[in-house]
Structure 1
Amino acid sequence: MNQKTTRDGFSFRAIPGWVITLALFGVLYATGLHPEAIGQVQRLLLATGLKSAEVPSALELPETPASAAMAGAGFHMRDLEGKVVAFESLKGKVIFLNIWATWCPPCIAEMPNIQRLYEKVGSDKIAFVMLSVDQKGIDKVKKFITRKGYTFPVYMPASQLPEEFSSPAIPTTYIISPAGQIVAQQKGMAEYDTPEVREFLEKMAQ
């Protein structure tokens, strides 16, 4: 007897591929693993280099008066230990702000390359703000970050998200100059661990 045929003559080969795919996604959805499974697939797209983040040349940046208002002024966020941090306390640094959520597959897809970028541009003049907009509380976010082994700074909003950081899509990433101005914005997932992004951040931090 064919090993792929049951005793009553039924063959698993007769099951349409779409049924198997649907069943697989049903299991992933039921177990809560579907964002990570889809994120893994989208990570393959990032690996092709077709979704590299776009940043302007540091030479193209306009001069900003020291008295100009900072993007995100008045906004407060909470770190994973519960400490409240004023966004304005980061003024004077280059800020890499990424808005994400644990339920967002594209967010999950780009996180490993953001972690690599964070490790490579280690500087006290560059601040990473991985801002989670999860609604289910800090514990879920903390468990996710711990399980993944990420070491970049993670926060959650402690006040209303400023209008300038509002986006119809997540992930969305903003790069903010030391003067507090948004100088680059990326909607949707992207590859950030590139020579262009590293050079852009490091030149602004000089």
Structure 2
Amino acid sequence: MNKKTKKNIIEYGIIGVVILTLFATGLHTEVIGFLQRGILKTGLMDPDLKDTNGFTNKKNNPPADYSLSLVNSKDEKINMEDFRGKVIFMNVWATWCPPCVAEMPGINNLYNDVKNEDIVFIMLSVDQDFQKAIDFNEKKGFDFEVFRASGPMPPQYNSQSLPTTFVIGADGTLALTHMGMGDYDTEEFKEFLKALK
């Protein structure tokens, strides 16, 4: 075996050990999320607000389904119906999902910028163990509340993609569905939310 081959084997071995360690410790989600946060800043993953959902104006947007029952981190039961008449930003996410982790700091910034604007945030965890979502939120120091569904998910919000974000206007219509991660911490998105009031 020549020197170059030995060097390659050692390099690949080190890379393999690092990857295995990340997966064994659960840190892979954080590391991948950190890398994806850099991708978010390029603007390539931003939701398309020009033609949201294929709906070009409010009157063509479908009605939102308010039949979702929720439980928050304090174990309080809340019905989505309670938020009717307000703009709702609903993000479906999980702690084990790197793109979800990547977009969370931007969502937290958005939340803090618009929380006094009568805009409701439903950060809907699909973790099997809801306590993981609560612990994650506290560890990261995010200011928004986390929720879990306490009943079946309405078909309108079923998605094969995590994260998925839905925005419902104050008029009760579904104004945006964005599958995959997005950078919501932009002036354009804040103006979009405010325009839905």
Partner of 1:119: 112
Once residues 162 and 149 of structure 1 are traced to their aligned partners in structure 2, the CA distance between those partners, rounded to angstroms, is 30
Match of 2:178 among 175, 186, 196: 186
Pairing 1:61–2:53 present: no
Classify the secondary structure of the residue corresponding to 1:63: helix
Q: How does 1:156-167 map to 2 (within 5 A)?
A: 156-167=148-159
Match of 1:45 among 30, 34, 39: 39
Q: How does 1:1-206 map to 2 (within 5 A)?
A: 13=7, 15-56=9-50, 60-63=56-59, 71-136=64-129, 138-205=130-197
Structure 2, unaligned runs of 5 or more? 1-5
Once residues 111 and 35 of structure 1 are traced to their aligned partners in structure 2, the CA distance between those partners, rounded to angstroms, is 13
| Identical aligned residues as a percent | 38
- Residue 59 of structure 2 aligns with an amino acid whose one-letter code is E
Give, in angstroms, the shift of residue 72 of structure 1: 2.9
Give, in angstroms, the shift of residue 29 of structure 1: 1.0
Partner of 1:8: none
Q: TM-score, normalised by structure 1?
A: 0.85
Give, in angstroms, the shift of residue 20 of structure 1: 2.1
More helix as a share of residues: 2
Asked if the contact 1:64–1:179 (Cα under 8 Å) also holds between the matched residues in 2, the reply is no
- RMSD between superposed Cα atoms in Å: 2.3
Once residues 132 and 156 of structure 2 are traced to their aligned partners in structure 1, the CA distance between those partners, rounded to angstroms, is 27
Classify the secondary structure of the residue corresponding to 1:114: helix
Once residues 57 and 202 of structure 1 are traced to their aligned partners in structure 2, the CA distance between those partners, rounded to angstroms, is 17
Give, in angstroms, the shift of residue 75 of structure 1: 1.4
Structure 1, unaligned runs of 5 or more? 1-11
Asked if the contact 2:58–2:175 (Cα under 8 Å) also holds between the matched residues in 1, the reply is no
Give, in angstroms, the shift of residue 19 of structure 1: 2.6
| Rg larger for | 1
Q: TM-score, normalised by structure 2?
A: 0.88
Once residues 15 and 123 of structure 1 are traced to their aligned partners in structure 2, the CA distance between those partners, rounded to angstroms, is 57
Once residues 138 and 60 of structure 2 are traced to their aligned partners in structure 1, the CA distance between those partners, rounded to angstroms, is 38
Once residues 192 and 51 of structure 2 are traced to their aligned partners in structure 1, the CA distance between those partners, rounded to angstroms, is 7
